[in-house]
Amino acid sequence: MDLTWYGHSAFRVDAGEARILIDPFLTGNPSWNGGWEEPAEGVTHVLLTHGHDDHIGDAVDILRSTGAMLVANFEICMFLVGKGVDQSRINPGNHGGTVDCHGFTTTFVNAQHSSSSSGEGGTNTYLGNPAGLVLHFPDEKTLYHMGDTDIFSDMALIHELHQPEIGLVPVGDRFTMGGAVAALACRRYFKFETVLPCHFGSFPIIDQTPQKFVEGMEGSGVNVPTLKAGESISL
């Protein structure tokens, strides 16, 4: 499995025949100035944790350009169909559900956050409940993208049910848990082999580095790579 981080919460996952973009906020992402075309090359799936604009990002353009499958909750799927996404290419789910993505499965789990899309005139469109996403592959490690979330005790059940080896964890504070709390969540509720911090450094009002998280994970035995936007790691 190859993981590429594009800043904020945007990741590409290349595993087997699957080419997956998660929360592809690329255009307008202060951490990434390379546009969406290169990250979206050959993409087969676009996965969205929730409906905030800094997570939906370039999903519509990517889906319309590539014909990739959209995996998200029902509200987000239908919202993007209304923006021109092919309805035959959506694969909706919701909390507790697992969907077959042809080569891997995605399970929707809880996240403590909110979910809407900003419109003109300050209006917001409700887009269902925010989620974390657990990806199971037949011949790869299980990956858990927490989405935007705070710590919550039912993370213990997510570990019991799915036992993810790889975690993609928000650490930037203000809109998600901060680094110290994120480290507590990883150490108390999971047995990750590798954790990649995200949702930091992209906007001035959130933490600019993952230092608090890295410090909180010291001595845990967990691999904590700190990538720069556009960098990849093989796991």
Residue closest to 38 by CA, chosen among 229, 212, 234 = 229
Quickly state the pLDDT bin for 200 (edges 50, 70, 90): very high
Which tens digit of pLDDT belongs to each residue from 100-115?
Answer: 999 999 999 999 999 9
For residues 145 and 205, what is the distance between their CA atoms, to the nearest angstrom? Answer: 22
Residue closest to 125 by CA, chosen among 61, 50, 58 = 50
For residues 110 and 122, what is the distance between their CA atoms, to the nearest angstrom? Answer: 27
The token pair that represents 102 in the structure block: 């042809």
* Residue entry with tokens 């580095």: 209
The token pair that represents 180 in the structure block: 């110290």
Number of CB atoms found within 10 A of residue 127's CB: 24
Looking at residues 113-131, what average pLDDT do you find? 92
Which of the listed CATH numbers 3.40.1440.10, 3.40.50.11540, 3.60.15.10, 3.40.50.150 matches domain 2-224? Answer: 3.60.15.10
The token pair that represents 13 in the structure block: 């996952």
Task: List the chain domain ranges.
Answer: 2-224
Residue 14 DSSP label: E
pLDDT at residue number 119: 81
Which tens digit of pLDDT belongs to each residue from 132-164?
Answer: 999 999 999 999 999 999 999 999 999 999 999
Q: Is the dihedral of CA 165, 168, 174, 178 positive or negative?
A: positive
Hey, is 36 helix, strand or coil? Answer: coil
Which tens digit of pLDDT belongs to each residue from 64-89?
Answer: 999 999 999 999 999 999 999 999 99
Specify the pairing of strand 131-136 against strand 69-73. Answer: unpaired
pLDDT at residue number 120: 73
pTM, two decimals, is 0.98
Chain mean pLDDT for the chain: 98
For residues 185 and 164, what is the distance between their CA atoms, to the nearest angstrom? Answer: 14
